[in-house]
Every structure is written in C-alpha cells, then in structure tokens.
Amino acid sequence: MEIDANGVRLRFTIHGAGEPLLLVHGFPLSGRMWDAVVERLAGEFRLIVPDLRGHGGSEASDQASMGDYADDLVAVLAGAGEMGPVVLVGMSMGGYVCLEFCRRYPDRVRGLALVDSRAEPDTDEAAAKRRETAERVLAEGSQVVADEMVGKLFAAEASSELRDAWRAHMAATSPRGIAAALNAMAERPDSEPLLRELEVPVLVIVGAEDGITPVEVAREMAMVTGGELEVIPGAGHMAAVEKPAEVAAALAEFARRMGK
C-alpha cells in the first residue's frame, strides 16, 4: 500500500489479523528485513510494516528528523485503519524512531519492543562522523555505507551469501534517504529520560554478538524500564534476519500479553 503524507509518498505492507504490531526497520534497510519474522507471526497478529522515508519503496526527502519519521508512522497507521494503540517494534534506528513516537504519541502505544537498539544520543564525535558520511554518500553513492556497515551487522558465522545480499540491499537505498537518516540520527535527542518515564511494557531484544548495540547496553535499558531482556544466541546486530524464529517467538509472547 502507498499513501501521501507529510510531503512524501510512503509505502507499507499489511499482513495477518489480530493484535496490531508496527514493525520499524533499521538503517539503511527497509521493511523487507522483517520478512522472515512476519511469516512466523502473520497467523496470529496484524503486522504493519512500513518503509521509512528514503528507504525501500518510500520517497526520500533532503532532510528528516526523528520527529518526521514518527509523524510518518502515525500517517501509516491511519492508512492501515489503525487508530488505537499498537505494539511498537523498532530495530536499531527504528528503535530511535519508536522512542520518538512514544514521546509524541504516548496514547498510541500499547507496548514497546526495542531490537538491537539504544536510547542514548550520539557522542559529538559519532555525530560528526555521521555528518561526514552523509556528505560522502551524496558525493559517492550509497555503496559507501553498504561497504562500511556490512561487516558490522552480522555474527561471525553469518554466511557470505547473507552478507552479500544485504550489502546489495543497502547499496540500493536512496543516497538522499541515507544522508537524511544519518543527519537525523546525529541530531536525535537523548531518550534515556524517556525510558525511565514509560508507562507501557517494554521488551528488549539483542543479538548475543551484536557489536553495534552490545548486550550490556540492552541489559541496562531493560533494567531502567523494568522490562524484559531476550538475548538471541548466534546473532549480531541483524538478529531479526539471522535468527527470525527466535525473534518472532519473543515478540509473539510479548504481544500476546498486550492483547489480554
């Protein structure tokens, strides 16, 4: 499905029926990263899977913020006919977007699952590196980020076929979309205070071999929120791609409780 919202055209898919889950992908990916998880959950839940602006089939903008992405998600939910609270599921940058969604639209959140993500903002050094990379991408193309990231995303035992497929997927992402996302991540607010104030159930999922958002970071988020922690053995930062059965099982157990 496609909708026009907030100055861009957004693409999303809907699968199944039941308790609604909104699955938000990471950077610089698309909703396709959830495919194997969706296959396992669609028999029980209604899954709404957007492509964030500038990613997948959604139109890019020259600039974006976490607030823009969160506002886009509200528009996607309206396009899907979901006007009540949903279970938010965000992977990596998708987690940053979901936290901003919680800040802006708390009454639309039934539960929050953060997958291989974090709440604290970039350091000044990390933010500067993102801005520098954004300029390189606009000048040289998306392959800059694809080549840089592919080695960081997966557990050591991930196959070369899996790595190559996702390198190609990232390289196909719009340079404008990647640059806008990099700058948005560099400017994102500190969401650690928000975590302490959340009044909804929280699930934190992390790959045991995630080198980008390590288990220690995930454990701290779970402790702060009083939420649950699920560590996925044999997975890196792309736990939902590497170990979809395990991620789907954790999400299903969490979402079932939201529906009671």
Please determine, for residue 10, whether its predicted confidence score (pLDDT) is greater than 80: yes
Residue 113 backbone phi and psi in degrees, to 5:
-115, 120
- For tokens 């991930």, the residue is 158
In the structure encoding, which two tokens stand for residue 71, read together?
A: 């506002």
Q: pTM of the full predicted structure?
A: 0.97
Query: Rg for the chain (alpha carbons), in Å?
Result: 17
- Residue 20 is predicted with a pLDDT of 97
pLDDT tens digits, residue range 98-116? 999 999 999 999 999 999 9
CA separation for the pair 100, 188 (Å, rounded) = 9
CB 201 within 8 A of CB 112: yes
Residues forming a β-bridge with 111: 87
Please give the helix or strand (H or E) that residue 207 lies within, else none: strand 202-207
CB 135 within 8 A of CB 260: no
A 10 A CB-CB count for 231 gives 18
Mean pLDDT of 131-138: 98
Please determine, for residue 260, whether its predicted confidence score (pLDDT) is greater than 70: no
pLDDT tens digits, residue range 210-237? 999 999 999 999 999 999 999 999 999 9
Please determine, for residue 15, whether its predicted confidence score (pLDDT) is greater than 80: yes
CA separation for the pair 121, 47 (Å, rounded) = 29
Please determine, for residue 174, whether its predicted confidence score (pLDDT) is greater than 90: yes
> Binning pLDDT at 50, 70 and 90, where does residue 27 land?
very high
Query: Which domains, and CATH codes, for the chain?
Result: 2-120+189-258 (3.40.50.1820)
CA 205 to chain centre: 12
- Residue 258 is predicted with a pLDDT of 76
Mean pLDDT over all residues of the chain?
97
CA separation for the pair 153, 55 (Å, rounded) = 18
